[in-house]
Chains A and B, each alone.
Chain A
Amino acid sequence: MDYEIVIGLEVHCQLLTETKIFCGCSTNFGNLPNQNTCPVCTGMPGALPVLNRKVVDFAIRAGLATDCSIVRENVFARKNYFYPDLPKGYQISQFELPICVGGYLDIEVEDEKKRIGITRIHMEEDAGKLVHPEYEHGVSFVDYNRACVPLIEIVSDPDMRSSAEAVAYLKNMRDIMVYLEVCDGNMEEGSFRCDANISLRRWGAPELGIRAELKNMNSFRNVQRAIDYEVERQSDILDNGGVVVQETRLWNVDRGISMSMRGKEEAHDYRYFPDPDLLPVVIDDFWVDEVRRNQPELPLAKRQRFVVDYGILLTDAEVLTSDRNLADYFEAVVKIFPRPKAIANWIMVELLKFLNDDKIAITQCSITPQGLAELLKLIDKGTISGKIGKQVFAQMYSAADNDPELIVTTKGLAQMSDAGELTGMIDEILAANADKVKEYQDGKSKMFGFFVGQVMKRSKGQANPQMVNELIKERIG
């Protein structure tokens, strides 16, 4: 292609605070319309905002995790525009003095590492939601449950050069925010949203081209598709000697195209000014240090710690730390049964297979860390073999039964470890297969496996394989 792609992203994260940013209402999702409201978040005349300091903690947390500087004097500003979902006719946001500036996030695409700059992170309130009922044409309702829910907006520098880089940045950012417990990262429900600014320029051109802003992409896949579509659209325009219009475009998932939302001629003048109802928030070193001390471990640090502390492979550590909850699960098992390698194996091979087949998250898994630890203890003690262990595991998973010992007892799955009993069985098998014993003794060493197999078959898999090996060796040398 003749053009360099330039992408900058604006990410909105809904914060996991229990109450809203400027009032005491619950942020709980899924309540009845307008249940989580009060005079403040519905913009009643005379009601005033009071800042939830937890929001500042969360914003500092996000800033520290992305190597931003924390701005010491924070000012909230009003962004003025009319829309029915905006109860006050203005959104309280930050404009000239955002809380975090000048950070970065490292990404990796096709083994190439890249650093993406972060321009700023600011705090703001969310708007409500319009509801257009199908049964009544021309009437709309407003649900203000979401109004005043805290958000941080993370604005990147225009540093990304492909949709793949954009998606890598987003995935990385989401991991971090989920790890920090700042945001649940749910793109479908809109608690993690992204707008993309895209422009093209001829290779080597010093100035950025005219950009379009893309909205309404509610999955990583849609971000990729929408950006690719936009790149194609703009390069067609430029190839034909046209000029890209600066505008906002909405991605239409069903049709796989984007459509213009509003042009520049209708561009808003938001008339930002400092909100006189809120005093500047001064953040001192003590506050920043306090947040730093309680900062949760980030994925990269956790990965390295898993390799060093638990002696597991880097590739395993990557899988285990890819999801904060999975990492927590792993560590919970290790705490009860300190055999990290075995645990990592079981999680990666068995557990994840089941979860992937059912498309459920680790948090919905019916086997508790305690249950898995108990199962691994039974294998370790030799009560059951690894193979039987898998059967028990399947049983535990499907029946949500976390008592493996009881399963083993009731189903008679315990391993045969009685030397006398095993010897009798082996002697019978060797006697019945004298020809094969001879072959073995003549040098056909792979016959050994045959004998072991016969014993396991006769014992219905319950014979202790290690003992079987030893006893056969004793008999036939």
Chain B
Amino acid sequence: MELYNYSLENLGELLDKGEISAVELTRSVLERISAVDDTIGSYLTVDAEGALIQAESADVRRRKRDNVTPLTGIPVGLKDLISTAGLQTTCASKILAGYRPEYDATVVSRLRSAGAVITGKLNMDEFAMGSSTENSAFQKTCNPWALDRVPGGSSGGSTAAVAAATAIATLGSDTGGSIRQPASFCGVVGMKPTYGRVSRYGLIAFASSLDQIGPVTLTVADAALLLGVIAGHDACDSTSVDLPVADYYKRLKNDIRGLKIGLPQEYFGAGLDSEVEVLVRSACGQLAAAGALVNEAISLPHTDYAVACYYLLATAEASSNLARYDGVKYGFRAENTDGLLDMYRQTRAQGFGDEVKRRIMLGTYALSSGYYDAYYRKAQQVRTLITRDFEKVFADCDVIVAPVCPTPAFAFGEKVDDPLAMYLSDILTIPVNLAGLPAISVPCGFTKSGLPVGLQIIARPFAEETLLNVAWQYEQLGGWSRRRPEIKKKAV
């Protein structure tokens, strides 16, 4: 087997034993990128030179046994909204074309000090706004399992890269399902940690109160290892929480007999693809057979309001977060403009794509004087109700299990002209972000046409340990992880 096909966990063992070097591994991944990424389109920027230099120093670290971590020498790709000093970071937006941050995001500093090798920056929906990665200003990313289908979004580049083995692991960000939904579409593991678990410092904001960085990996164990490195309090992010970080990897194999699992009725309603439903219910059956207590009648009554609530709050925050892209300090500035106001207008009109503009307008409206109470404030109140729904359920359940997305990966162009249909593909992931909870998508099978489907597991705030434990146990029962698509090269 080629090195790029191994899991992070297995590669760590091989590196530990000295059977392979980080440089060999990095070369293998870079070759894989050259071989398939013109077909997949997962990367916006590949930093081959930087990666090899980091791999060399990882090898030195391993030789000297100097602060070796499970990530030392592992090639990791980053969603292109995570700031990397000196390496172009665009958010897949024309307005940030050519922007090179002067600082590393906290997660990047942590990866670097763990010895990870950063391969490059991955495609996404512009500013993380979208569910198919079709909103990238630069390129499309194909689903490695079906090249005519989307990888999901907004972290479509991150999940396609892991599925296509153009990275061993990647980081994505999840604001309304942006890690879990594409992970489900691409047949990989994608996790959104509790809000506050991972520092947002250096994560280019879409919606500050919802955004969270998380791991995208081949297996649950890999996710546990990667989360262990990036999680933890950061004094540079006021919303990061000062709680101890458990050894997630060590607790993966804990027994789940007697564990209480809830299935929310509202997540199995109209619009749910029947194949998806069958796969998710059979996964629950396997968990029950393994000794978990499954309650199929729990209720999250405010679920119906989540999408509306989310699209008011997320767009309101985005309208303000994206105000800094004004052509004054960095990134794109329109040319031949007439004065300051015209410079602003032209820069933003030419620099942002349609979906971003649509959301800025929505959010600006929601915050406008006279509408604030009816929209923004009301949405905040709904958010509280949704959070309470979960609190009540978690009084009796240890985890909630549900589908990630009502459908498997859809075709390019299928929803791009119908924003509302696109928004609804996040209906089962959005409530988790509103409540700030940790959740994961684990592969739970394939449709008849060969498209992967993910199982969503949701846990209590900061119960990542339980979440990963249940996910790992299911992964052993289901056996759907580690499968690789056969990538047919596009005819040139």
Q: Which residues of A contact B235 (CB under 8 A)?
A: 50
A276 touches B364 (CB 8 A): no
Q: Quick one: given A48-B200, A269-B368, are A90 and B323 in contact (CB under 8 Å)? A: yes
Q: Does A46 contact B (CB under 8 A)?
A: yes
B238 touches A45 (CB 8 A): no
Smallest CB–CB gap between A50 and chain B, Å? 5
The 0/1 profile, CB within 8 Å of B marked 1, for residues 253-294 of chain A is 000000000000000010111001111000000000000000
A47 touches B320 (CB 8 A): no
B201 touches A46 (CB 8 A): yes
B330 touches A44 (CB 8 A): yes
Smallest CB–CB gap between A277 and chain B, Å? 5
Q: Which residues of B contact A271 (CB under 8 A)?
A: 319-320, 364, 367-369, 372
- Residue B376 contacts which of A39, A45, A273, A279 (CB distance < 8 angstroms)? A273
Smallest CB–CB gap between A126 and chain B, Å? 17
Smallest CB–CB gap between B275 and chain A, Å? 38
Q: Which of B81-115 contact A (CB under 8 A)?
A: 81-83, 89, 91, 96, 99, 101-103, 105
Q: Which residues of A contact B83 (CB under 8 A)?
A: 44-46
B368 touches A277 (CB 8 A): no
Q: Which residues of A contact B208 (CB under 8 A)?
A: 276-277
Q: Which residues of A contact B394 (CB under 8 A)?
A: none
Bound CA–CA A178/B208 (angstroms): 38
- Residue B201 contacts which of A42, A48, A84, A142 (CB distance < 8 angstroms)? A48
Q: Quick one: given A42-B329, A82-B326, A87-B329, are A279 and B239 in contact (CB under 8 Å)? A: yes
A48 touches B236 (CB 8 A): yes
- CB nearest neighbor in B for A271: B367
Bound CA–CA A271/B330 (angstroms): 25
Bound CA–CA A44/B324 (angstroms): 8
Q: Which residues of B contact A47 (CB under 8 A)?
A: 103, 201-202
Q: Which residues of B contact A46 (CB under 8 A)?
A: 81-83, 101, 105, 200-205
B324 touches A45 (CB 8 A): yes
Bound CA–CA A457/B227 (angstroms): 94
Smallest CB–CB gap between A53 and chain B, Å? 12
Q: Does B209 contact A (CB under 8 A)?
A: yes
Q: Which of A97-137 contact B (CB under 8 A)?
A: none
Q: Which residues of B contact A272 (CB under 8 A)?
A: 367
Q: Does A80 contact B (CB under 8 A)?
A: yes
Bound CA–CA A89/B319 (angstroms): 10
Q: Does B237 contact A (CB under 8 A)?
A: yes
Q: Does A340 contact B (CB under 8 A)?
A: no
Q: Which residues of B contact A43 (CB under 8 A)?
A: 324, 329
- Residue A89 contacts which of B203, B207, B326 (CB distance < 8 angstroms)? B326
Smallest CB–CB gap between B86 and chain A, Å? 13
Q: Which residues of B contact A279 (CB under 8 A)?
A: 238-239
B103 touches A39 (CB 8 A): yes
B96 touches A45 (CB 8 A): yes
B326 touches A45 (CB 8 A): no
Q: Does B272 contact A (CB under 8 A)?
A: no
Q: Does A211 contact B (CB under 8 A)?
A: no
Smallest CB–CB gap between B21 and chain A, Å? 33
Q: Does A88 contact B (CB under 8 A)?
A: yes
Q: Which residues of A contact B89 (CB under 8 A)?
A: 45
- Residue B102 contacts which of A44, A142, A273, A278 (CB distance < 8 angstroms)? A44
Smallest CB–CB gap between B63 and chain A, Å? 35
B324 touches A87 (CB 8 A): yes
The 0/1 profile, CB within 8 Å of A marked 1, for residues 189-210 of chain B is 0000000000011111101110
- CB nearest neighbor in A for B344: A82
Q: Does B340 contact A (CB under 8 A)?
A: yes
B317 touches A44 (CB 8 A): no
Interface centre among A42, A80, A89, A272 (most CB of B within 10 A): A89
Bound CA–CA A87/B327 (angstroms): 11
Q: Which residues of A contact B324 (CB under 8 A)?
A: 43, 45, 87-89
Smallest CB–CB gap between B337 and chain A, Å? 12
Bound CA–CA A278/B236 (angstroms): 11
A84 touches B328 (CB 8 A): yes
Q: Does B316 contact A (CB under 8 A)?
A: yes
Bound CA–CA A89/B327 (angstroms): 11
User: Interface SS of chain B: helix, strand, loop or mixed?
Assistant: loop
Q: Which residues of A contact B239 (CB under 8 A)?
A: 276-279
- CB nearest neighbor in A for B209: A276
Bound CA–CA A84/B317 (angstroms): 21
B323 touches A80 (CB 8 A): yes
Bound CA–CA A87/B328 (angstroms): 8
Q: Which residues of A contact B368 (CB under 8 A)?
A: 269, 271
The 0/1 profile, CB within 8 Å of B marked 1, for residues 195-231 of chain A is 0000000000000000000000000000000000000
A45 touches B367 (CB 8 A): no
Q: Quick one: given A42-B329, A271-B368, are A82 and B99 in contact (CB under 8 Å)? A: no
Q: Which residues of B contact A269 (CB under 8 A)?
A: 368-369
Q: Which residues of A contact B207 (CB under 8 A)?
A: 276
Q: Which residues of A contact B328 (CB under 8 A)?
A: 84, 87, 142
Q: Does A303 contact B (CB under 8 A)?
A: no
Bound CA–CA A51/B238 (angstroms): 8
Q: Does A382 contact B (CB under 8 A)?
A: no
The 0/1 profile, CB within 8 Å of B marked 1, for residues 294-323 of chain A is 000000000000000000000000000000
Interface centre among B208, B317, B324, B326 (most CB of A within 10 A): B324
Q: Which of A42-67 contact B (CB under 8 A)?
A: 42-51
Smallest CB–CB gap between A95 and chain B, Å? 11
Q: Which of B301-331 contact A (CB under 8 A)?
A: 316-317, 319-320, 322-326, 328-330
Q: Does A193 contact B (CB under 8 A)?
A: no
Q: Which of A360-414 contact B (CB under 8 A)?
A: none
Q: Does A249 contact B (CB under 8 A)?
A: no
Q: Does A78 contact B (CB under 8 A)?
A: yes
Q: Which residues of A contact B201 (CB under 8 A)?
A: 46-48
Bound CA–CA A348/B283 (angstroms): 90
A273 touches B320 (CB 8 A): yes
Q: Which residues of B contact A80 (CB under 8 A)?
A: 319-320, 323, 367
A90 touches B320 (CB 8 A): yes
Bound CA–CA A42/B369 (angstroms): 28
Bound CA–CA A45/B329 (angstroms): 11
Bound CA–CA A47/B319 (angstroms): 17
Q: Which residues of A contact B209 (CB under 8 A)?
A: 276
Bound CA–CA A50/B240 (angstroms): 11
Smallest CB–CB gap between B194 and chain A, Å? 15
The 0/1 profile, CB within 8 Å of A marked 1, for residues 371-384 of chain B is 01000100000000
Q: Which of A340-363 contact B (CB under 8 A)?
A: none
Q: Which residues of B contact A88 (CB under 8 A)?
A: 323-324
Smallest CB–CB gap between A141 and chain B, Å? 11
Smallest CB–CB gap between B118 and chain A, Å? 16
A273 touches B316 (CB 8 A): yes
Smallest CB–CB gap between B407 and chain A, Å? 31
A84 touches B340 (CB 8 A): yes
Smallest CB–CB gap between A288 and chain B, Å? 22
Smallest CB–CB gap between B79 and chain A, Å? 12
Bound CA–CA A82/B325 (angstroms): 10
Interface centre among A46, A50, A51 (most CB of B within 10 A): A46
Smallest CB–CB gap between A196 and chain B, Å? 24
Can you identify 22 A-B contacts, CB atoms within 8 angstroms?
Answer: A43-B329, A45-B204, A45-B330, A46-B83, A46-B105, A46-B200, A46-B205, A49-B238, A50-B237, A50-B238, A78-B320, A84-B328, A88-B324, A90-B323, A269-B368, A271-B369, A272-B367, A273-B316, A273-B320, A276-B207, A276-B239, A277-B238
Residues of A within 8 A of B (CB): 39, 42-51, 78, 80, 82, 84, 87-90, 142, 269, 271-273, 276-279
Q: Closest 5 A-B residue pairs measured CB to CB?
A: A89-B323, A276-B209, A271-B367, A276-B208, A46-B202
Residues of B within 8 A of A (CB): 81-83, 89, 91, 96, 99, 101-103, 105, 200-205, 207-209, 235-239, 316-317, 319-320, 322-326, 328-330, 340, 344, 364, 367-369, 372, 376
Given A50-B238, A271-B364, A276-B207, 9 extra CB contacts under 8 A: A45-B204, A45-B324, A46-B204, A78-B320, A90-B323, A142-B328, A271-B372, A276-B239, A278-B238
